[in-house]
Copies of this chain bind each other. A is one copy, B any other.
């Protein structure tokens, strides 16, 4: 199944048979004091720099989130989407749970973005999905609802099924739905990674959709997070995740290694190019 995202001159094709598509997570003020302060002051320099740096590091798609306390999210998200689009020509992942903010951003975006996100709550389904349909976008479906994030793969899968059914009923094709099986840190619950992995396997088997994942959550509060994130990414990519949301500079080499051993990098060309780049950086 192929999900195609489009920017003015480029596209990103997400599919299990292709190299993993990396969604850059860094244009998001959550937990980032400097970016939060800049956005509150209307300063877009960090946003531009992060767009540039992430694409240079290998991001195929950029997530854009405007969740700043006290800001007019609709106006800010719209401006950020315009700024990022003007800086780098890659498809965007427009990140908000506010229908108003999403509508404002979708109205100005030139291309086919990924809307991040809808979830299993009735209010989310009934307000976000019509927007996705109206603007011909693709959408991330989070496997959570009114009751929070379920602690079993069965329950997460059933929410994914509900989202797909509701979207298809509105005429959104399955290939435009990207399921996020969600992960919590194994630092708090040793079974957190297993539940995610099992959900990914089940969604692949039962729904066959593309899948994203904010894989970095798995290591929250633990040391050497890049190692844990890379190892967990390898497992979830092997199980069916096709477009994780990540800190691209930190995990791209691990993802390229995963693509290579999964037969998605003929002649190891992407892997070897990345290796040479790392060698140059070390000697520079």
Q: Which residues of A contact B (CB under 8 A)?
A: 186-187, 190-194, 197, 218, 222-224, 227-228, 230-232, 234-235, 238-239, 253-254, 257-258, 260-263, 265-268, 271-272, 275, 278
Contact = CB atoms under 8 A, between A and B. Distances in A.
A260 B191 CA distance: 9
Nearest to A272: B223
A18 to B, nearest CB: 13
Each complex incorporates copies of this chain amounting to 2
B235 A261 contact: yes
Contact of A268 (B186, B258, B267): B186
Given A230-B230, A235-B258, 8 more contacts: A187-B268, A191-B263, A222-B260, A223-B275, A224-B253, A231-B231, A234-B235, A235-B261
B228 A231 contact: no
A182 to B, nearest CB: 14
Contacts of A187: 268
A222 to B, nearest CB: 6
Given A234-B235, A238-B197, A261 B218 contact: yes
A266 B190 contact: yes
A129 to B, nearest CB: 32
Nearest to A193: B261
Contact of A231 (B234, B263, B266): B234
Given A186-B263, A231-B230, A234-B231, A224 B275 contact: yes
Nearest to A257: B231
A186 B261 contact: yes
A254 B258 CA distance: 13
Nearest to A222: B268
A257 B239 CA distance: 17
A115 to B, nearest CB: 29
